Structure 1
Amino acid sequence: NLAAKYNWEISFFTAEELQNAAGEFSSSDFVKSVVGVSNVCERSAVLAANNGSIISSKCSLNGVTLAVAEADIVLDFEKLS
């Protein structure tokens, strides 16, 4: 599979975890009827980025939906010395 080929980590989240993700997300009645949460891709991206920020909101093509989030990184140079 693609994740194994590129050694990417795969994360899975429960509907409850997705529902509790912080942020403003697009909504889909269809997705909510299927999984119980109105948005999966953006919420999953935020959670996988340790509550990061969406940098590319939901887009769909041929049945695949994608969103991208970036993790907030804090550099502490004091700890390096």
Structure 2
Amino acid sequence: MQTTYHKWYSPSLEREMEVKTWGHDGFPVLFIPCQNGRFFDFENFNMTDVYAPWIESGKVKVYSIDTVDPETWSDRSRSPRERA
């Protein structure tokens, strides 16, 4: 199974962001981790095994992105307005 890892600096967020992909071709599937999750959760929770038949056959390509939850939505030191 083809796997790639990307990391780049986001000028908008002023921080580095990470994404991992599985597959070589197919319908794009976007995995967004649960609250406070990370891009590697898709693999850590063995979802690659579940999706393997479709990934390996080229029917789907999975993109797992990172989030900024700890700095935004989950940051209890900020007001609700700032977190939203």
Common topology (TM > 0.5): no
Taking structure 1 as the reference length, what is the TM-score of the superposition?
0.29
Normalized per residue, which structure has more helix? 1
With the length of structure 2 as denominator, give the TM-score of the two structures.
Answer: 0.29
